[in-house]
Structure 1
Amino acid sequence: MEEKSSRHKKARATNPPASAQEAVPVAEAASLLTDDLIVEILSHLPARSVHRFKCVSPSWRALITDPANRKKLPQALAGFLYSTFHRRDPHFHEFHFANISNSPSPPVDPLLPFLPSDKYLYVNQLDTCNGLLLCRVHMAPSSPSGDENTPVESHYIVCNPATGRWVDLPPHPEAPPDSFVFARLAFDPAVSSHFRVLQFENSDLKKYVTGVNIYSSQTGAWNHRESRLFEKITLFAGLSGVFFHGMLHLLGWLHHPLYMDENFVLVAVDVEGQVWKTTRLPSRGLGFGRIGLSQGCLHYASKVLPTVDNNKKKKKKKEEDTSLAAEIAAVWCMKDYDSKEWILKHSVTIAELWSITSAEFDVAAIHPDRGSIFLYSYDDDTLASYDMQHRLHRILHLEENNTAIFLPYVPLFSDSFAGADGQ
């Protein structure tokens, strides 16, 4: 009997479980894949998945980080370009990079050294979109002039900081004397190598957007389109746009006396300036936030301001402590773009943030691949990355006197950049 039991134990020891038997052919099949096939498969995955696959094995990590493969693989968010006020002249800015990647050296030089310094006197960084950077450059004078009031010639350029290539845009149309303009970039390398620059006109007198000038790298020309918005809306010039579903999305302010507590709207414009749409943003007080594209869906993150009772001038200490439980940041997601319905995804309270940072934060940006938001503190010049699901955080120290405008940067190592003439 003991001999029979011993034979059964030996049989169980020599025969692996069914799951292990099934894993053997899979492992053998995977070993037959060449590096080129692996890279081709990874090129169709989100950047977040590619980043995680670095942990599969040393060979996979070497394959993914190989500079020769970077042109084919999607890249993760590397950090933010931001500016500080110039130390000698407040009319100009100095530019920096907040590095959130694991690389010890920044993946981009914010000084853009590939641009000719003898040609461009000053470069103002305006917007980023899928690896490209929109700048407004001020030209160096061809001859010295003693008149300080002499206007300096300027125009737009679009460049790729990862490859050092750029294109000069022709002079943009002059804006009406009673308006101010700001420009945003629209580019999707998965759809086309061509890009658009949309220069919006906001009227100083009428206080709302009146039209847009659109540059196409395909035609090499500017076209003007009148606004087709039915409501009076002012676009916020100090915020980045989101290019999604072939439309540029911007935050705006609706001038309507009946909606004073719900006057923030999302404005979408197609790249031809023919279609203009507005969507109400979720309102929970007079909070104001940022829009972003995260995990394939449009997101809106806002800071919720506490409701103030003007009839109560004094509050008890207990009530003040209770107010710390109010939400300071809430993140909504538009899972179905066609429905325009916002769904509350995450929120964080004042008390929770204060327990970690002991500082007041405003929403700065939304991570494109993770369930994280970035919060900026005016008190100590820091940028905090906050994972709203796992409650993890990371804090970056910034340069002093920054403008609190952060341009997300995802490297684009591909040369598929139509019209680039830089070397």
Structure 2
Amino acid sequence: MEEKNPGKKQKKARTTTLQAEGVVPAEAEAEVPAAAGLLTNDLIVEILSRLPARSVHRFKCVSPSWRDLIADPAHRKNLPHTLAGFFYSTFNRANPRLQDSHFASVSVGASPPDNPSLPFLPPDEYPPVDASLRFLPFDEYVYVPQLGTCNGLLLCFAHMAPCPSLGDDEQLESHYVVCNPATERWVDLPPHPNVPLGSRMMVRLAFDPAASSNFHVFQFVKADEDDCVTGVDIYSSRAGIWIHRESPLVEKFSLYFGLAGVFFRGMLHMLGWLHPMNPNEDAVLVAVDVEGQVWKTIRVPSGGLSFGKIGLSQGCLHYATTPLAVVDRINNSNNKVKKKKKKQKEDTSLATKVVSVWYMKDYDSKEWVLKHTVSNHELRSVTTENYKVAAIHPDCDTIFLDSCRVDTLASFDMQRRKFFHILQLEKNRAWQFLPYVPLFSDSLAGSHGQ
């Protein structure tokens, strides 16, 4: 990785880059070992296909021939791939109800999508039922916000009617679309039986290409009176229909809006909280299987109210948090709120920890182990900005940090204790980063496309 110079003015771009670990200049590349030179390309690809994605990515540094072999389109579908970057959105200045799509690359040599706005999605084949709208252009999807990612697939909410609406309560004609940006294949889901306004924030995607080419979309249902989840509608690409399941849990819970889920061991895991909320137990994991039959809650480590993120890294569930005490203090400083108050003792044990990262050592016993912490003092030694956790790298001990004040995405290598940052993220950003690992396999059940 190579740290950017914060003092040097960078040219604004839609795609920003963070150099990946293990990628070295061409002049520093080593020659292919003599023993490896005896292997055929087919054998090398077969060996590489059995290695972790991080190792394959680093082996691009062995020689130009290995780099070209790994990057060859004929071999890409058989090799594991590392994190390419993040889809993220900015609010449209002309219409704040709309968002524009962008992509931030975080690995040199990985394959980002050609266009984050997904121009390969098909034209709308169904004209509007309302005859008064027939004069409007319906030759393409008018608005396709991105809702979630899972193992190379992207879940979108395609609007087939003009988005600028006269009333906030107007229901737009729309449906879910699941696509693979790497192969430009997509699946149009049948209309959801009951999609209330705003409910798309409660939808999650589940997909594991190692287990099946089929995917599932979870649309959670909540009660109006207390905002608790009461059930879920699940779409299976194998069956091609939506099914409804009521929650069997006695515990009342809500899900955090907009946070990505993790599909692990055949179950979708999401961050939520129990009712009534306990400030000392800020979050729980809620897990649901693809049939909607098995539900469970898993306690997570707590240090009080915090911004939390879950991720699957190196085969284990991970949980990372930034205490709200840190963010509140930053916000108060940014707003220059100066009020005379009586001096009170302040608990700085949490405030000094910008991020704490745990991993689930044993899934059956639900044992969490503290893996790393990042202190405010440690970051202040290399940067003057303030950050909160944004994501967890799937292949190594690296976390991504989102600036609390400026449009910056950064990374922190927790093993080497090194900080790297990206500038040039678009202004007026939304809060969510959707991780994207390219999937070059053609297997996508029910897909359309080239």
Q: How does 1:40-189 map to 2 (within 5 A)?
A: 40-103=46-109, 106-116=112-122, 118-140=139-161, 151-175=171-195, 182-189=202-209
**Structure 2 segments unaligned to the other structure (5+ residues):** 1-32, 124-138, 329-340
Cα distance between partner residues in 1 of 2:388 and 2:219: 27
Opposite residue 333 of structure 1, the aligned amino acid is Y
Q: Which residue of 2 aligns with 1:20?
A: none
Q: Which residue of 1 aligns with 2:342?
A: 313
Q: Any conservation in 2 of the 1:130–1:187 contact (CA below 8 Å)?
A: yes
Is 1:218 aligned with 2:238?
Answer: yes
Q: How does 1:256-335 map to 2 (within 5 A)?
A: 256=276, 259-306=278-325, 313-314=342-343, 326-335=352-361
Cα distance between partner residues in 2 of 1:150 and 1:178: 11
Inter-CA distance 256–147: structure 2 relative to 1 (3 Å threshold): closer
Q: Any conservation in 2 of the 1:305–1:328 contact (CA below 8 Å)?
A: no
Deviates more, 1:214-223 or 1:167-176: 167-176
Q: CA deviation at 1:416?
A: 0.8
- TM-score, length-scaled by structure 2: 0.80
Per-residue CA deviation, residues 194-223 of structure 1 (Å, 9 max, x unaligned), is 100011112231221011000000010000
Q: Secondary structure at the match of 2:202?
A: strand
Work out which of the residue numbers 32, 43, 62 in structure 2 matches 1:37. 43
Per-residue CA deviation, residues 1-31 of structure 1 (Å, 9 max, x unaligned), is xxxxxxxxxxxxxxxxxxxxxxxxxx77644
Q: Any conservation in 2 of the 1:372–1:385 contact (CA below 8 Å)?
A: yes
Higher Cα radius of gyration: 1
Inter-CA distance 123–180: structure 2 relative to 1 (3 Å threshold): closer
Q: Which residue of 2 aligns with 1:376?
A: 402
Opposite residue 292 of structure 1, the aligned amino acid is G
Is 1:361 aligned with 2:387?
Answer: yes
Inter-CA distance 292–177: structure 2 relative to 1 (3 Å threshold): closer
Per-residue CA deviation, residues 249-282 of structure 1 (Å, 9 max, x unaligned), is 000011136x431131011110110001111110
Opposite residue 121 of structure 1, the aligned amino acid is V
Q: CA deviation at 1:105?
A: 8.4
Is 1:207 aligned with 2:227?
Answer: yes
Inter-CA distance 250–178: structure 2 relative to 1 (3 Å threshold): closer
Cα distance between partner residues in 1 of 2:120 and 2:225: 40
Q: Any conservation in 1 of the 2:92–2:100 contact (CA below 8 Å)?
A: yes
Cα distance between partner residues in 1 of 2:269 and 2:155: 16
Cα distance between partner residues in 2 of 1:192 and 1:111: 27
Is 1:417 aligned with 2:444?
Answer: yes
Opposite residue 99 of structure 2, the aligned amino acid is H
Q: Any conservation in 2 of the 1:179–1:202 contact (CA below 8 Å)?
A: no
Q: Secondary structure at the match of 1:197?
A: strand
Cα distance between partner residues in 1 of 2:48 and 2:182: 21
Q: Any conservation in 2 of the 1:255–1:263 contact (CA below 8 Å)?
A: no
Q: Secondary structure at the match of 1:234?
A: strand
Cα distance between partner residues in 1 of 2:375 and 2:210: 38
Q: Which residue of 2 aligns with 1:339?
A: 365
Q: CA deviation at 1:53?
A: 1.6
Inter-CA distance 340–156: structure 2 relative to 1 (3 Å threshold): same
Q: Any conservation in 2 of the 1:180–1:201 contact (CA below 8 Å)?
A: no
Inter-CA distance 314–52: structure 2 relative to 1 (3 Å threshold): same
Inter-CA distance 108–228: structure 2 relative to 1 (3 Å threshold): farther
Inter-CA distance 116–254: structure 2 relative to 1 (3 Å threshold): same
Opposite residue 370 of structure 1, the aligned amino acid is C
Cα distance between partner residues in 1 of 2:202 and 2:414: 33
Q: How does 1:379-418 map to 2 (within 5 A)?
A: 379-397=405-423, 398-418=425-445
Cα distance between partner residues in 2 of 1:29 and 1:122: 54
Q: Secondary structure at the match of 2:382?
A: helix
Per-residue CA deviation, residues 31-77 of structure 1 (Å, 9 max, x unaligned), is 44221121111111110011122223332222111121111101110
Q: Which residue of 1 aligns with 2:337?
A: none
Per-residue CA deviation, residues 275-332 of structure 1 (Å, 9 max, x unaligned), is 0111111012222310000011000000134599xxx83269xx89x77972110000
Is 1:231 aligned with 2:257?
Answer: no
Among all aligned residue pairs of Structure 1 and Structure 2, give the percentage whose two residues are the same amino acid. Answer: 64
Q: Any conservation in 1 of the 2:207–2:216 contact (CA below 8 Å)?
A: yes
Is 1:191 aligned with 2:211?
Answer: yes
Q: Any conservation in 2 of the 1:137–1:157 contact (CA below 8 Å)?
A: yes
Q: Secondary structure at the match of 2:433?
A: strand
**Structure 1 segments unaligned to the other structure (5+ residues):** 1-26
Q: Secondary structure at the match of 1:64?
A: helix
Per-residue CA deviation, residues 312-357 of structure 1 (Å, 9 max, x unaligned), is 83269xx89x779721100000122111110000001111112222
RMSD: 2.7
Inter-CA distance 176–380: structure 2 relative to 1 (3 Å threshold): closer
Q: CA deviation at 1:178?
A: 11
Q: Secondary structure at the match of 1:357?
A: coil
Q: Which residue of 2 aligns with 1:21?
A: none
Q: Secondary structure at the match of 1:96?
A: strand
Q: Which residue of 1 aligns with 2:265?
A: 245
Aligned residues: 387
Deviates more, 1:199-208 or 1:120-129: 199-208
